[in-house]
Amino acid sequence: MSEKRENWGSKLGLILAMAGNAIGLGNFWRYPYQAAKNGGGAFMIPYFAALILLGIPLMLVEWNQGRYGGKYGHGTLGPMVYLQAREGANPKVARILGGLAGALALGVTVLLNSYYNHIIGWTLGYAFETATGGYMDKAINTGEYFVKYIQSPGKVMVFWLIALAVLGFAVMRGIQKGIEAWAKFMMPTIYVFGIILIIRTLTLGAPVKPEWTPIAGLNYIWSPRWQDLNWTAALAAAGQIFFTLSLGMGIIQNYASYLKPEDDIVLSGLATVSLNELAEVILGGTIAIPIAYTFLGPEGLGAGVGLSFIALPNIFRQMAGGQIFGTFWFLLLFFAGFTSAIAMYNYLVALLEEEAGVPRRVGAVLVFIIYIIFGLPVGLEPILTKTADLAYLTELDNWVGSYLLVVLGLLEVIVTGWLLGLKGLEEMNKGSFWKVSKTFYNVFIQFLTPVSIIILLGFSTRDYFK
């Protein structure tokens, strides 16, 4: 066991750090285009179903595993799963499950960061491009501008390295002085920028066509369309819930491992979900989609990954004050991505620190190097292939961002719900203000959550081979 582990400095710091962990590029970059691509109103039905069936139960399971592991000096998934499984299953099975969970979590974190950190770099680069007026000339095609951007090593690699270096520096300083301090500054700023951008969005009027109003854009997302419901949208929605809530990765557990044994996890877990959903469906959903709709109509929503980096820049330069609002948008994206990347970075540093005895400072440097090695192919793809289809990045996001997170989520809920069984409920309710009821535990955590994940995995595997 390691010497004394750090704890969170304050309740507010913990909640902001957890919100920072969950609120990320998923909320502002990924959610708008996933919702738009999957039919808008047809996406929101499975989205909320997944939030209730998977998101909330798993969030509680992960906080539970984290605080439990922290008691024994462990902040990473392998040992946590092993310890919980050992209480209810034979040690051999526990060791296999722990090993599997540890390896999967390590793989997912490294692979996800190989592209996630690049997108963080793009957001920083684009904040700079916007503030300095890089693409403000209307003769510039913002699609071509983006392609040129990701193909120029001097820009793409430099901003990526700056982002990584600042991340490494933040993690080196530890939980209170590093993670908590950055979250306390960045998280409130995200909400402030978000609200400013929403006001701007809703006052855009209808500059192109009378029927293309911001409200019509919102209607597109908020009118349920049962007839368009399909499995692809359901899978995308479930994947998005995992991604946006940082589930199935071990990073919620890692942050929860710095709790004290009697700290409330039920209330804090629910607060994390609420703050994230507020930032996703309200802030994330009320900026990018209505802005794109106002200028480009329903067609503009088909922009996919490029929505934030191609469609929106094109619009920012057409609207009054766009250079300022555009800079706010990319800074907001940067802060959101940064506070999530800190969580993933800290996961790897904790792994090295606790399971291999590597000091935090050295660990932070090692992770920096690992990130560069795995991130280089993603950064080099558009430069070497001279194309901008980002095929490798997209494939990684499909596999890691949707599939592997779900697999790991299943393993987690089986270990707590089935192997630890009702002791898991007891553990969850220790020190909590609101108690999770036995019915909720039986119906959701032990039954509906694992069963719906199994069904999901079945369908997505079938779709893959179709």
CB nearer ligand PHE, residue 213 or residue 402? 402
37, 302 in Cβ contact below 8 A? yes
Please report whether residue 53 would count as binding ligand PHE according to CB under 6 A. no
Tokens standing for residue 39: 């039919």
DSSP string, 404-436: IHHHHHHHHHIIIIIIITHHHHHHHHTT-SSPP
Q: Is 51 in the site for ligand PHE (CB under 6 A)?
A: no
Q: Does 79 bind ligand PHE (CB under 6 A)?
A: no
When the beta carbons of 142 and 272 are compared against ligand PHE, the nearer one is 272
Q: Which two structure tokens, joined as six digits, stand for 231?
A: 């499995």
Q: Using CB under 6 A as the criterion, what x/- string covers residues 404-433 for binding ligand PHE?
A: -x----------------------------
Q: How far is the CB of 328 from ligand PHE (least distance, A)?
A: 19
Query: Minimal distance in Å, beta carbon 434 to ligand PHE?
Result: 24
Binding string, residues 149-168; x marks residues near ligand PHE by CB under 6 A: --------------------
> Please, what is the minimum distance in Å from the beta carbon of residue 272 to ligand PHE?
10
Candidate residues 53, 112, 167, 312; the one interacting with ligand PHE per rule CB under 6 A = 112
- Residue 301's H or E segment, with its range, is none
Report the residue from 117, 213, 246, 286 that binds ligand PHE according to the rule CB under 6 A. 246
> Is residue 27 a contact point for ligand PHE (CB under 6 A)?
yes
Report the residue from 68, 243, 330, 335 that binds ligand PHE according to the rule CB under 6 A: 243
Q: Which distant-in-sequence residues (6+ apart) come within 8 Å of 92 by Cβ? A: none
Give least dist CB 243 to ligand PHE, A: 4
State which of residues 113, 117, 142, 244 lies at the interface with ligand PHE (CB under 6 A). Answer: 244
Contacting residue, 15, 19, 22, 35, with ligand PHE by CB under 6 A: 22
**Residue 19 contacts residue 180 (beta carbons within 8 Å):** no
Build a one-symbol-per-residue string for 324-353: x at contacts with ligand PHE by CB under 6 A, - elsewhere.
----------------x-------------
Minimum CB distance to ligand PHE, residue 63 (Å): 15
Token pair 């392998």 is found at 78
Neighbours of 80 (CB within 10 A): 32
Going from the C-alpha of 98 to that of each of 32, 95, 417, the distances in angstroms are: 35, 5, 15
Return the closest-CA partner of residue 27 out of 192, 330, 224, 240.
240
Shortest distance, position 277 Cβ to ligand PHE, whole Å: 11
Number of other residues whose CB lies within 10 A of the CB of residue 223: 11
Residue located via tokens 């877990």: 269
Q: Are the CB atoms for 283 and 198 separated by under 8 Å?
A: yes
Select from 2-10, 17-25, 150-158, 190-198 the region that touches ligand PHE (CB under 6 A).
17-25
Helices 77-88 and 405-413, interaxial angle, to 10°?
A: 30
Given candidates 24, 214, 284, 322, which one binds ligand PHE under the rule CB under 6 A?
A: 24
In the complex with ligand PHE, the residue whose CB is nearer, 24 or 217, is 24
* CA pair distance 438, 443, nearest whole angstrom: 8
- Any idea which residue has 């920096």 for tokens? 368
Nearer to ligand PHE, 44 or 112 (CB): 112
Q: How many CB atoms lie within 10 A of CB 267?
A: 14
- Distance, first Cα to last Cα, the chain: 48
User: Which residue of 16, 18, 26, 285 would you call a contact of ligand PHE, by CB under 6 A?
Assistant: 26
Return the range that interacts with ligand PHE (CB under 6 A); candidates 21-29, 155-163, 171-179, 256-264.
21-29
CA torsion, ordered 8, 13, 18, 20, to nearest 10 deg: -130
How many residues of this chain bind ligand PHE (CB under 6 A)?
13
- Provide the binding-site residues for ligand PHE, judged by CB under 6 A: 22, 24-27, 112, 243-244, 246, 249, 340, 401, 405
